[in-house]
Amino acid sequence: MRLQAQLYLEKFYSSLGFTRISKEYVEDGIPHVDMIWEQL
């Protein structure tokens, strides 16, 4: 599963098992990062 997370939610998504896969970027004036979750 892949998502575009607002930067302030990165720690929350990390706690659910998501891993950051991009540098920070701005979308609609809000900092975001791409994250992925892969079930093993």
Q: What is the pTM of this model?
A: 0.89
Domain count, the chain: 1
Q: How does pLDDT run across 1-40, given as a tens digit for each residue?
A: 999 999 999 999 999 999 999 999 999 999 999 999 998 6
Q: Which residues of 4-39 are buried (b: 16+ CB within 10 A; e: fewer)?
A: ebeeeebeebeeeebeeeeeeeeeeeeebbbbeeee
Domain with 15, as residue range(s), is 2-36
Q: How does pLDDT run across 31-40, given as a tens digit for each residue?
A: 999 999 998 6
How confident is the model at residue 39, as a pLDDT? Answer: 80
